[in-house]
A = this chain, B = another copy of it.
Amino acid sequence: MSAGFSVQARCGEARAGVLQTNHGPVETPVFMPVGTQATVKSLASGDLEALGVQIVLANTYHLAMRPGAGLVRDLGGLHTFMAWPRAILTDSGGYQVFSHKGRRKIDDDGVTFHSHVDGSAQRLTPESAMAIQADLGSDIAMAFDECPASDASPEVLVRAMERTTRWARRCVGSTPATGQLRFGIVQGGTDLALRREHLDAIAEMPFDGMALGGLSVGEPPETMHAVVREVGPRMPEARPRYLMGVGTPADLLVAIASGIDMFDCVMPTRAARNGRLFVRGGHLNIANAVHCTDPLPIEEGCACEACRRYSRAYLAHLFRVKEILYYRLATLHNLEHYLSLVRGARQAIVEGRLPAYVESRLATAT
């Protein structure tokens, strides 16, 4: 089912694995930077290579709106378009469409919504979402799911879950791009029984990987952790496990210890642009006046370009005067923080010392 995934080491529930893709191996656990519009904001593909990124996420909805999936296909696919030689995972567009509350109409066949670009009416179905992802030529395509709000009633949760199951069947029935892997998505909100039920329903379909969707959508972190601790270890052993849209450094450690292999989140990149820079022990806000005179780097010993070369004072200046360079340096730093956190976890799994690693990083992580 997923001949391309192998687990190389285990430590408790955690696993260190390798996922083979059309564009090279992805060592798991892995953090996937988000490149919504075919660029991880402020970074070039060469920057991502230098950071050691093995896989990025791109957003089907945004790329379908601009520049259009057909154009990307005609230009040789997303890898060629964004000059990225390593792996790409595309979401299905569902999450983006469902987060436009009140601007979309859902039925059993699919979703009608309005483009955020020009207001034009658009429609996504399981088949069209998979076809767009085939056009983009991503290495991993996500099933088209319905993602309910965190405060949805049990009835809404169940309805969304059942619809997601029906849609998942249509997704696995579609034709992927050559060598494209497909992941199914488990819904069920924060109800553990629903989550287990939906996991079983999705797991029986021939997806190459399994994802947990509908988390980190507003519920308290402890609630999300409880779902991950309960569901993570029950996900099929032989397939990669992906926790969508999560999260803080602490969230990642909890989930890795619960057997999750893959993550994506806008947090490191978006927080960077807003002035929040991750360091061991938490974060600093570069907008604070105290940094304006500080000759030290963001974090001593960090391998990123910002820390190797620049002071907090310089970054604080760039941030205050809104210089473009700030965004790049801050993004490089926060991604390095996330990537090295997860690489460290992988190494700890291989060496059988994940609990100590998690403890040492949790003690200081936000």
Binding site for B on A (CB under 8 A): 37-39, 41-46, 66-67, 71, 74-76, 81-83, 292-293, 295, 305, 309-311, 313-314, 316-318, 320-321, 323-325, 327-329
Question: Could you say which of B82, B305, B321 contacts A44, with CB atoms under 8 Å apart?
Answer: B305
List the number of copies, as a whole number.
2
C-alpha gap A338/B173 in the complex (Å): 54
Q: Given A66-B317, A321-B37 in contact, is the A329-B75 Cβ separation under 8 Å?
A: no
Question: Could you say which of B39, B46, B66, B83 contacts A320, with CB atoms under 8 Å apart?
Answer: B66
Contact between A314 and B44, CB atoms less than 8 A apart: no
Shortest Cβ distance from A321 into B: residue: B37
Shortest Cβ distance from A327 into B: residue: B324
Residues of chain B with a CB closer than 8 A to A318's CB: 37, 39
C-alpha gap A211/B83 in the complex (Å): 44
Leading 10 A-B pairs by shortest Cβ distance: A42-B324, A67-B317, A83-B309, A39-B325, A37-B321, A39-B323, A324-B327, A83-B310, A66-B321, A75-B313
C-alpha gap A324/B329 in the complex (Å): 12
Contact between A75 and B309, CB atoms less than 8 A apart: no
A selection of 24 A-B contacts at a CB cut-off of 8 Å is A37-B318, A37-B321, A37-B323, A39-B325, A42-B324, A42-B328, A44-B305, A44-B325, A46-B305, A66-B317, A66-B321, A67-B313, A71-B293, A75-B295, A75-B311, A75-B313, A76-B295, A81-B311, A81-B313, A81-B314, A82-B314, A83-B310, A324-B324, A324-B327
Give the shortest distance, in Å, between A106 (CB) and chain B (any CB): 27
Residues of chain B with a CB closer than 8 A to A41's CB: 323-325
C-alpha gap A76/B324 in the complex (Å): 23
Q: Residue among A41, A81, A324 with the most chain B CB within 10 A?
A: A324
Shortest Cβ distance from A273 into B: residue: B324
Residues of chain B with a CB closer than 8 A to A71's CB: 292-293, 313
C-alpha gap A102/B343 in the complex (Å): 58
Residues of chain B with a CB closer than 8 A to A44's CB: 305, 309, 325, 328-329
C-alpha gap A89/B200 in the complex (Å): 67
Residues of chain B with a CB closer than 8 A to A83's CB: 309-310, 314
Contact between B311 and A46, CB atoms less than 8 A apart: no
Residues of chain B with a CB closer than 8 A to A46's CB: 305, 309
